[in-house]
């Protein structure tokens, strides 16, 4: 039997074990996937990861607040992990710890599964933290033209600088978000406001064909704002499923057919 874990703090709410067990069941694989609580310090995280792989564990997911520590711990990285500077998927390759980041590709896969084409389209992201960093390169790779709105302008400018080799990113303030006239194919909320229960001030003249909240499982003031505009509304549950699918495929080498997977939301 192959062993997997998801490491986080907090971790008791994680849906990853149910998702991965459902993937395994659909393929007739016998796996054990557990939640692993870890104290919030890098030494503890390193100890947990080392003990897990030393004990024969096959793959680990990493969630908040350890994605950056995981990135620093890995000896090799995927291109997406390198640009995200964060890792959500760990595996041993040739005796070296390899880190991938499937969050951004998970978002793309979810959008594509809803027939949302990004090529040449204007896509805006609100927020300039780790969640945003993880999705920038995958969005650029799809041909999206990016705008980032952020409260702290300097953080958005750092992202603009870090990704300038890949594409030019347009930077806007929260004042622009509150008062501007804009139209986007997709507007993504990657701030932590939905988790903290705060709301964003969004201009009535800001239109989007699709509003996407990376958060899931709670009512979203961000999505509610768009209910009367005929905007398509999506929450982050699809992204969660798709990032998990990509991690599972990396670990097992098997393709998951989501149509054959039984999941309760
Ligand atoms: P994560 O790793 O989940 O992205 P983070 O790095 O703490 O978390 O980033 C949170 C993002 O939400 C940031 O862009 C933050 O804005 P700042 O860069 O100005 O800190 C944004 N954010 C959090 N609370 C916000 C609020 N009340 N209004 C607007 N943006 C907010």
Confidence at residue 264, expressed as pLDDT on a 0 to 100 scale: 74
pLDDT digits (tens, 9 = 90+) for 97-142: 999 999 999 999 999 999 999 999 999 999 999 899 999 999 999 9
> Residues forming the annotated binding site?
14-16, 63, 79, 88, 103, 127-131, 150-155, 214, 216, 236, 243
Kindly state the percentage of the chain with pLDDT values over 70: 100
Confidence at residue 217, expressed as pLDDT on a 0 to 100 scale: 87
Bridge partners (DSSP) of residue 24 are none
pLDDT digits (tens, 9 = 90+) for 38-49: 999 999 999 999
DSSP state of 75: S
211: Cα separation from own chain's centroid? 16
Round the average pLDDT of the chain to a whole number and report it.
96
> Residues forming the annotated binding site for shikimate?
14-16, 63, 88, 103, 216, 243
C-alpha closest to that of 121 among 210, 55, 35, 37: 210
Residue 110 CA to residue 126 CA, distance in Å, equals 18
15 backbone dihedrals φ, ψ, rounded to 5°: -90, -5
Whether 15 shows a pLDDT value over 90: the answer reads yes
DSSP letter string, 84-110: HT--SEEEEETTEEEEE--HHHHHHHH
Q: Residues near ligand 1 with C-beta < 6 Å?
A: 127-132, 150-152, 155, 174, 190-193, 198, 200
**Distance from residue 122's CA to the centre of ligand 1 (Å):** 22
Residue 251 CA to residue 60 CA, distance in Å, equals 9
**Distance from residue 51's CA to the centre of ligand 1 (Å):** 33
- The H or E element spanning position 91 is strand 89-93
| Least confident segment among 97-101, 185-189, 216-220, 251-255 | 216-220
This prediction's pTM: 0.94
pLDDT-derived band at 265, boundaries 50, 70, 90: low
Residue 263 CA to residue 265 CA, distance in Å, equals 6
C-alpha closest to that of 123 among 104, 149, 145, 156: 145
CA–CA distances in Å: residue 185 to residues 116, 121, 166: 9, 6, 20
Residue nearest to atom 2 of ligand 1 (CA): 130
Dihedral (Cα; 251, 256, 261, 265), 10-degree rounding: 60
């Amino acid at each position: 039997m192959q062993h997997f874990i998801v490491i986080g703090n907090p971790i008791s709410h994680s849906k990853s074990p149910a998702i991965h067990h459902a993937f395994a069941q659909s393929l007739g694989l016998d796996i054990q996937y557990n939640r692993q609580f870890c104290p919030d310090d890098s030494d503890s995280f390193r100890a947990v990861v080392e003990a897990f792989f030393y004990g024969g564990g096959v793959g680990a997911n990493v969630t908040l607040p350890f994605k950056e520590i995981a990135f620093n711990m890995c000896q090799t990285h995927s291109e997406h992990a390198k640009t995200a500077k964060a890792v959500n998927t760990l595996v041993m390759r040739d005796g070296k710890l390899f880190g991938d980041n499937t969050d951004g590709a998970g978002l793309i896969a979810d959008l594509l599964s809803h027939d949302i084409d990004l090529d040449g389209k204007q896509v805006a992201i609100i927020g300039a933290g780790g969640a945003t960093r993880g999705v920038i390169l995958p969005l650029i790779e799809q041909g999206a033209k990016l705008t980032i709105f952020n409260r702290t302008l300097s953080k958005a400018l750092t992202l603009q600088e870090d990704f300038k080799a890949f594409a030019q990113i347009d930077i806007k303030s929260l004042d622009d978000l509150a008062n501007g006239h804009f139209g986007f194919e997709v507007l993504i909320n990657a701030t932590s406001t939905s988790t903290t229960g705060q709301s964003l001030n969004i201009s009535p003249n800001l239109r989007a064909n699709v509003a996407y909240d990376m958060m899931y499982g709670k009512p979203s003031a961000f999505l509610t704002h768009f209910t009367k505009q005929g905007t398509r509304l999506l929450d982050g549950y699809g992204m969660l499923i798709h990032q998990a699918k990509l991690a599972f495929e990396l670990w097992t080498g098997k393709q998951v057919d989501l149509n054959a997977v039984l999941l309760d939301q």
